[in-house]
């Protein structure tokens, strides 16, 4: 079936229209004329795969990774990086207009000089059995495993450590669904290994061997998410902007250090703090955004549901000699409506699902002068901005940042102010 690709989806798939129905085609680019095969038919859309290319995009390029067309981790390795940034900008713009009915200029996406080797965290699936154990990612669009010999997105130290872990797997007994997470410090490049779903504690000989490559070791058994410290340091040392921080095994931290630093600078600029404002950082994680605001604010308050992250945030405040920061454990939708305190600036950095309505309602009730929304999901971002728009807040600046090059994900930082014109 012949078609012309004329759009891009939020997951980086080319979009064509055949008989009025949208067809999503992985690895297809706008402007290409393709021969496709329909592989999935739904009432409102179809999915296809490329069977042949009649006219190729001039931005199409050879891929670096031998696993690219099997692995589901990346979406844009087949396109020049400059074009990837343009497509991500288009995705943000399209979502704001289509879902949020917000016609606002979207600034060019801030990219990296090189879109490779940037991740400081990787999650591997443990597959196979005994001598045939191996590290894997999900196959694209499925729950099947793809054996990965090398991932071009993770740092070189993490690549080398992953190869070593792969060699050690036959000595580690794990259940189906087990995973291995490797994290890297931006301060000294030291590594942490977290093993989930083991059938038994690793033998001392295995721990001793792993300790040669990993400065910190944790594991859990079966379906239990409670981690046991197996050796080495209990935390990694991190840094974001002006703030040094410690990283617990399960505390959230941005996977791209360079772009995370740029994000902090953008937030500082958008915040426009003069030293007298009260700042709220909802979904604060280990408190890195809030603590970077502290020297420019009268007070900062962070809310986070992860108890270990809050403990890290409080430690980070003490270790950076920051005394005007307060951190609260709990779900934002429960804690925020109960806070009897006005804020001049509210920073929202929710998960991909976006903000719950209770959070948005509570923020609007508090009438902050500025709201900064940090989002990794353009569709839920547009939905939530539409809710703020109905209550008189307008997007002043939309700045995307390519936090996850070669994947379809894009981070956006939006600054809103109260316009006094509800629903416009």
Catalytic residue numbers read 376
Q: What is the C-alpha to C-alpha distance for residues 388 and 229, in angstroms, rounded to an integer?
A: 44
356, 74 in Cβ contact below 8 A?
no
Within 117-250, residue ranges assigned H as helices are 156-168, 204-210
Instruction: Give DSSP secondary structure letters for 301-366.
Output: EEEES-HHHHHHHHHHHHHTT--SEEEEES-HHHHGGG-----SEEEE---TT---HHHHHHHHHH
Q: What three-state secondary structure class fits 415?
A: strand
The pairing of strands 174-184 and 121-127 is antiparallel
Give CA angle at 376 (373, 382), nearest 5°.
60
CA proximity to 182, closest of 171, 172, 190, 170: 190
Q: Which residues pair with 145 in a beta bridge?
A: 138
Give CA angle at 271 (371, 414), nearest 5°.
50
Across the chain, which distance is largest between two alpha carbons, in Å? 67
The pairing of strands 134-138 and 345-348 is unpaired
Within 190-256, residue ranges assigned H as helices are 204-210
């Amino acid at each position: 079936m012949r078609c012309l690709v004329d759009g891009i989806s939020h997951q980086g798939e080319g979009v064509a229209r055949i008989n009025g129905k949208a067809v999503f085609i992985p690895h297809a680019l706008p402007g290409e004329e393709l021969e496709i095969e329909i592989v999935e038919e739904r009432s409102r859309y179809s999915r296809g795969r490329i069977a042949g290319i009649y006219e190729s995009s001039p931005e199409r390029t050879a891929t670096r990774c031998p696993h690219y067309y099997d692995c589901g981790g990346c979406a844009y390795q087949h396109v020049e990086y400059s074009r990837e940034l343009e497509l991500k900008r288009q995705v943000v713009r399209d979502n704001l207009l289509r879902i949020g009915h917000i016609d606002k200029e979207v600034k060019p996406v801030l990219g990296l000089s090189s879109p490779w080797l940037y991740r400081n965290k990787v999650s591997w699936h443990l597959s196979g059995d005994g001598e045939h154990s191996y590290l894997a990612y999900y196959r694209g669009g499925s729950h099947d495993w793809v054996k990965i010999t090398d991932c071009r997105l993770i740092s070189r130290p993490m690549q080398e450590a992953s190869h070593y872990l792969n060699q050690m797997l036959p000595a580690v007994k794990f259940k189906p669904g087990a995973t291995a997470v490797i994290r890297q410090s931006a301060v000294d490049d030291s590594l942490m290994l977290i093993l989930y779903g083991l059938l038994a504690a690793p033998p001392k000989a295995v721990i001793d061997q792993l300790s040669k490559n990993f400065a910190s070791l944790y594991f859990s058994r079966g379906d239990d998410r409670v981690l046991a410290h197996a050796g080495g340091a209990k935390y990694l040392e991190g840094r974001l902007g002006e703030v040094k921080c410690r990283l617990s095994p399960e505390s959230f931290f941005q996977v791209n250090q360079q772009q995370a630093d740029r994000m902090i600078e953008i937030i500082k600029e958008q915040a426009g703090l003069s030293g007298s404002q009260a700042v709220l950082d909802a979904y604060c994680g280990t408190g890195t955004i809030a603590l970077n605001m502290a020297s420019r604010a009268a007070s900062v308050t962070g809310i986070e549901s992860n108890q270990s992250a809050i403990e890290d945030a409080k430690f980070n405040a003490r270790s950076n000699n920051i005394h005007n920061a307060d951190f609260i454990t709990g779900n934002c939708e429960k804690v925020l409506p109960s806070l009897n305190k006005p804020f001049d600036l509210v920073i929202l950095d929710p998960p991909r699902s976006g903000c719950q309505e209770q959070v948005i309602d509570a923020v609007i009730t508090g009438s902050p002068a500025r709201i900064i929304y940090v989002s990794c999901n353009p569709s839920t971002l547009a939905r939530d901005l539409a809710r703020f728009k109905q209550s008189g807040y307008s997007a002043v600046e939309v700045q995307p940042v390519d936090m996850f090059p070669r994947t379809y994900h894009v981070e956006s930082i939006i600054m809103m102010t109260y316009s006094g014109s509800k629903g416009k």
